[in-house]
Structure 1
Amino acid sequence: MKAQIKKASVLLMLAISLFSFSSLPGGEGFEVYLNNKVIMQRFGNQLNNPQTIQLSEANPNDELRIKYHHCGQPGKNRILTIKDSQDKILKEIRFADADKPVSDMACKVKDIISLKKGNNNVFKLHYRSSELPNGRLLATILAGSQRNATQP
């Protein structure tokens, strides 16, 4: 009898230990797509390390889509902002409030390429919403050849 109680206690402790490591749904992060192909994903600690998106080979009619994850909550007052290397706002794109936890925000590559002036081929893509009022730098966008780019 004591052996069975001891065995049951060990199994119970093991089960509790295993369930304590299961992940909960949600989490903050984002994905960037070029024509339905994932070209960047950032979650958790990676959010503070933006990467560069190379658009020099992209077709002007290609579509860039961003999916931002707000810990399982729908995003409200969503805005994508494109800035130049001096952080001057060049374009803001506003999106309707999301009705589900992850909703696309899309723009055409030509809308970004059209912002090029002279040798300034480098842009910064920022995201802001009610859930993230201070915004976040998602990526640097290189819209021309690297040798002609002005770095931020």
Structure 2
Amino acid sequence: MKKTTFNQAFIKVFALIILCFTAFSFTTKFGLDSYEIYLNNKLILKQSVNQPLSLRVLQLDKANENDQLRITYKHCTLKGAGTDRNIVLKDEKGNTLKNWSFADATGSDLSMVISVKELLLLEKNNAHHDLSLHYTAKELPKEQLLASLHMK
């Protein structure tokens, strides 16, 4: 009698272990979305999305009109760039001032490039507003604040 009870308990535990291994083998591996912002080829901001809130302010006051802002956003679930990517410039009220659309990334270059000259012009035309850059993509349920701009 004891041998039968032991065998049943062993079979139940073994079945539970197999069930757990099966269930966990199909879960997706979650990581962190992250992004990097470069002024030309110099890294000026690197951030993981769920890191503690930082001041994420882009200091572009020493930027030249011929410079380029290059943004690379990596999605954790894709291990690469998203699709239907946009960088949006907004004021403090959430009004969209400019929307840059980017083609889906192919190959190893995931960057989205914005002319600093264009940013400087937009900042000049909206001098009394706080401006910020946001990222959107098909894979991102809501837009992600990248950084506030400081160009004065």
> Could you list the per-position Cα deviations for residues 37-91 of structure 1 after superposition, in whole angstroms to 9, with x for gaps in the alignment?
0000001532754510011111011000100010104310000000112221110
SS in 2 for 1:68: strand
Q: 1:69 aligns with which of 66, 69, 74?
A: 74
Paired letter, 2:148: T
Provide the TM-score with structure 1 as the length reference: 0.70
Alignment match, 2:24: none
For the residue of structure 1 that corresponds to 2:74, the secondary structure is: strand
Structure 2 counterpart of 1:35: 40
Q: 1:6 corresponds to which residue?
A: none
CA distance, structure 2, for counterparts of residue 48 and residue 76 of structure 1: 26
Q: Distance in 2 between matches of 1:135 and 1:48?
A: 16
Contact 1:50 1:137 in 2 (8 A): no
2:91 to 68, 84, 88: 84
d(CA) in 1 for partners of 2:83, 2:141: 10
Q: CA deviation at 1:112?
A: 0.8
Structure 1 segment 1-152 matched on structure 2, within 5 A? 27-46=32-51, 48-49=53-54, 51-71=56-76, 72-100=79-107, 103-115=110-122, 116-117=124-125, 119-120=127-128, 122-144=130-152
Structure 1 letter corresponding to 2:125: K
User: Any conservation in 1 of the 2:37–2:69 contact (CA below 8 Å)?
Assistant: yes
User: Which runs of 5 or more residues in structure 2 are unaligned?
Assistant: 1-28
Unpaired segments of 5 or more residues in structure 1? Answer: 1-23, 145-152
The root-mean-square deviation of aligned C-alpha atoms, in Å, is 2.3
What is the count of residue pairs matched by the alignment? 121
Which is greater in Rg? 2
